[in-house]
Chains A and B, each alone.
Chain A
Amino acid sequence: MKIELTLKPRKNPFIPVEAEAITPVTFLEKEAEEIKIWGGNREKNISEIFEVKTSGKADSEKDVEIEINGNCFFVKRVGEYMKDGKITVNGNIGMHCGNFMSGGVIEISGNSDSWLGREMKGGEIICRRNTGHYCGSGYRGEKTGILGGKITVEGNAGDFIGEFMAGGEIICKGSAGSMPGAEMLKGGLTIYGNTDTPCANMRGGTCYILGEAKDILPTFKKTESVFNPDFKKEFIVYEGDYANRSHKGKIFVAKQDRKTK
């Protein structure tokens, strides 16, 4: 089954849309006329905001494919609690995309706003361009962020990527803002570009930084230098964070090639 959702022109495109209903399971169980989403403070039928085209049939969530077209920068919570299937976003997507998802794939060809894949448990999110802050983190006050699955950001990421990360994998092909992997517990974070103040108060997990890492906290212990065959680079290893009771985390910062000036 394939569902094509095209955002209709809106009078005020800045009024947020709470679209936690856009998941494969809702389209499998309900007809398009029954699906309600919130536009601002009003509950609306999905067809008031999106043009819905459905084709084919599906027996399970796995066979459901949702395609979202248009600039959905104010459409939030797409793919929340998604278990299987696929969502393709041709354009930008708003905050909290892929919250708590445990399976399936979300592919975003444009930018995504903050909280991408927050507290996700499994599945995969691919963002072809930039993402906002708190990618793969836990929400305010929560003690665990991403628990499993994989997030790939091909552009840059904002601050606090992988905060409270407790499993899974986050790959940022561009640069990340401040404090990536803060309070990290487990899992792997890889940043190809530059960043600063990585992994503050980390308790476990690993963080690879291939670009420049500014301001590594003084509570980390510089230990050794290792060669990683995957990246074909020499890395300096920092252990920590010694500000915390358990300090089994490791930051690998690539040795910068000084010759290329």
Chain B
Amino acid sequence: MSELLVKNAYVIDPINDIKGEIMDIAIRDKMIVESVGSSAEVVDAKGCLTLPGGVDSHTHICGTKVNFGRYMSPEDMRAGRGRAQPYMYPVSGYSVPTVYANTYRYSALGYTTVLEGAMAPLEARHTHEEFFFTSLQDTMANTLFDGNWSVMEAVADKDLKRVAAVVGWTLAAVKGFGVKVTNPGGTEMWGWGKDVGCIHQKIDHFGITPAEIIDYLIQANELLNLPHSVHLHCNNLGKPGNYKCTLETMQRTPDLNDKRQTLYMTHVQFHSYGGTKWSDFCSKSDDVAWMLNRKPQIAIDMGQVMFGKTTTMTADGPMEFNLFRLYNNKWSNHDVELETGSGIIPVLYSRKNLVNSIMWSIGLELALMAKNPWQCMLATDNPNGAPFVKYPEIIALLMSSRYRNEEFSKVHPNTENRVHLPSLDREMDFYEIAVMTRAAQAKALGITGIGKGHLGEGAYGDIAIYPIKTDDIDPAAEYEKIIKGFSSTDYTIKSGRVISRDGNCLLNGNNRTIWVKPKIPDEYDMSKDPEFIKKFERYYSVSMENYPVEEAYLNQRNICIETETKL
């Protein structure tokens, strides 16, 4: 039995409605309890800002496409080198760093839970292997269903229960966490060299529209009672004028769940573009934020772009091809049999570039215009918008309008006419930042019930103590202190053990994988469905017996969320 007492902490815990109180937190054997004995190990927070361990609800750090990003960009490994230390392996890389670099840097930022945004079901084993070595964060993987033939055929048959059965079986088989839909239908069309225009264009062969896929998956998600909602990357990412498509998708989202959102829209910054072509490209974040404020059933993340080098990687193959034609740099494309695809290219977001400057501005506008911070989360779609190490800078930008103005004066001079950012003077406080970086994420992912994202009794002892004394700092003026404070925690505690101190990791491995297993009745068990088996035999390169991820690939310390389905 190990005991830990965090003393004298200035706690902000939005889920338990604690808005800054000096208190002690007691942890016994991973979990937070009311009190511990006098022999407990003591961590003195010295009145510093103490938050629940950070939760990143959309990041790409594990899996085949991240690894392919590493293959493609050996030059990326020239940055971010770190020597081996006790409990730390040597690391390298900046936008697509090594697995250990990701986990060490996240722990230095105070993050203890991360969600891999897109895992192709067929390539789940690789993701789980990398999860095993993401040794300081609890991990989850959203599973891609955007071009799944079985799902699309069931949608074409208007058979909701079959959609749910396929989703449920696949999630349990690949040990996934949620349903990710990336450019629904688009990747399938990309197999024929095409893309879907918006949500009402029919997909070849299947005769269904992206809107139908989204609708059915949302309902199937609720039938399966999954902890997280459908995680949607809308159609038309990165195209001028795509905000209409985004608004339409938002407009038709029903409100089906009273505990959490019904639809999680990811990196909405990339979907809030006005204009018709790159020359009249402008921000339409006002319209998107207006719609978001009217639709409490939707949660979004910013997908903030920060200037510098990075690598974009997504399951959205056609979009990456368009980017490739724009940059004429390296490009990789990948097709995952009956399921999905992906594309990867390295990019450079430049201040001198008008389009990049507008993109940078849109992300911030979305966060500032969304009235409810629980609906808009802080994320960069790491590494697509920027590597996650830029989070402290984004926090500072949100907290200080002076910093925003200073940064704004350095971007392309024409940006001013195309964006709304200079007119926004909202400055967020520490509570809102705590919501946007952990509480809202935990709530959106539906993992508060298993004790993540808050500091109530019975929660996991995941705590981040930042070297920030909230009373002494004026975030609006001293934004540099905010950046420095959020860049490296004094202590990051995970499951009752100190994993990182001043940015140096102190132990190796107490991570868990969280996955979902819907309880599906026998008549909907896809592994016994003759048609489904036939599809596997005919089209898949692996047999159905070899498809599910074995226990050996799954992290031994895993949490399985079994859900009661309504099938």
Contact = CB atoms under 8 A, between A and B. Distances in A.
B74 interface: yes
A141 B75 contact: yes
A140 interface: yes
Interface band, chain A: under 10
Instruction: Tell me the interface secondary structure of chain A in the complex.
Output: loop
A142 B328 contact: no
Interface band, chain B: under 10
Nearest to A246: B328
A139 interface: yes
A114 B328 CA distance: 29
Interface string B488-532: 000000000000000000000000000000000000000000000
Contacts, number: 14
Interface in B91-127: none
A141 B346 CA distance: 11
Contacts of B74: 139-141
A141 B69 CA distance: 12
B73 interface: yes
Contacts of A143: 75, 329
Interface string A125-144: 00000000000000111110
A218 B73 CA distance: 29
Interface string B65-93: 00000001111101000000000000000
Contacts of A141: 72-76
A139 B78 contact: yes
B10 to A, nearest CB: 41
Instruction: Tell me the interface secondary structure of chain B in the complex.
Output: helix
Contacts of B328: 245
A143 B74 CA distance: 11
Nearest to A142: B75
Contacts of B73: 141
Nearest to B75: A141
A120 to B, nearest CB: 16
Nearest to B73: A141
A140 B78 CA distance: 10
A141 B72 CA distance: 8
A39 to B, nearest CB: 16
Contacts of B76: 141
A245 B329 CA distance: 12
Considering residues A140, A141, A143, which has the most beta carbons from chain B within 10 angstroms of its beta carbon? A141
Interface in A206-247: 245
Contacts of A140: 74-75
Interface in A131-183: 139-143
A140 B76 CA distance: 10
Nearest to B330: A141
B67 to A, nearest CB: 15
A40 to B, nearest CB: 14
Interface string A23-38: 0000000000000000
Contacts of A142: 75
A187 to B, nearest CB: 20
A166 to B, nearest CB: 14
Nearest to B328: A245
Contacts of A245: 328
14 contacts: A139-B74, A139-B75, A139-B78, A140-B74, A140-B75, A141-B72, A141-B73, A141-B74, A141-B75, A141-B76, A142-B75, A143-B75, A143-B329, A245-B328
Interface of A: 139-143, 245
**5 smallest beta-carbon distances between A and B, as pairs:** A141-B75, A141-B74, A140-B74, A142-B75, A141-B73
